[in-house]
Amino acid sequence: MKFMKEFIAQFSSKPAFTSYEARNFFTFRHGPEGYYKLVLNNLVKSGRIYRITRGKYSFYDEIQYVGFAFKPFYYGLQDALSIRNLWEQETNPVIITPRRVRSGVRTFLGRNYVIRWIERSMFFGYSLVEYGDFFIPVADTEKILIDMVYYHEFLPEEVKNEILRAVNKKKLQEYILMLPDYMKKRVIAFTGIGESGKETEPE
């Protein structure tokens, strides 16, 4: 227990941490082999930390921090719309990552969150937003729109128009230029914003 205060101070300063980081912490301090496992198990049992997924933990019961267990990532789709105050309905966190992890619905402390895989060429277009004690990566409004097309997500017409009013057309044009060719055509058709930045007839 000699280093517990230091351990708690170090790892509670981030939204999530890994068992690998915990092992390195105690190895560097010449702790007994496997001691980190005992520490993690005891902290979970006592409710001091929470297990997000295999080998990933957090000192916080805030579900919007679970994405840090799947770095690199950003929050996207309806979740990002909600965070950016463009969607009033309550949503589950949507974690978008290029890592080869199982996509689908998972749970954390009884609440659902969603993992969505994205190809590397599409992994861009997000910025940090202050949320609670930390800054979290959230899709830009322009990338939310693109991802809606990418994932074939349905958008009510009024929501689509609200997003189109909120986007920066110059930034959306820049993002369109970064897309694979097959996505350029789909996004241009959906948004009515061409590669030149001029408006076309949307779908």
Q: Span 19-32, mean pLDDT? A: 87
Q: pLDDT (tens digit, 9 = 90+) per residue, 161-197?
A: 888 889 999 999 999 999 999 999 999 998 887 655 4
Q: pLDDT (tens digit, 9 = 90+) per residue, 110-146?
A: 999 999 999 999 999 999 999 999 999 999 999 999 9
The strand ranges marked E within the chain are 17-18, 50-53, 56-58, 74-75, 94-97, 104-108, 111-117, 126-131, 134-139
Q: pLDDT (tens digit, 9 = 90+) per residue, 84-98?
A: 998 888 899 999 999
Measured CA distances, 186 to 49, 122, 191, 197 (Å): 44, 14, 9, 15
Q: pLDDT (tens digit, 9 = 90+) per residue, 31-48?
A: 778 888 999 999 999 999
- Which among 119, 66, 72, 69 has a CA at the least distance from the CA of 93? 66
What tokens were used for 32? 């007994």
Query: Is 60 exceeded by the pLDDT of residue 199?
Result: no
Contact 126, 140 (CB under 8 A): yes
What DSSP designation does 193 have? Answer: B
How far is residue 142's CA from residue 130's CA, in Å, rounded to a whole number? 19
Residue 141: CB atoms within 10 A of its CB come to 20
pTM of the entire predicted model: 0.89
What tokens were used for 165? 């009013």
Cβ contacts of 120 within 8 Å, gap of 6 or more: 98
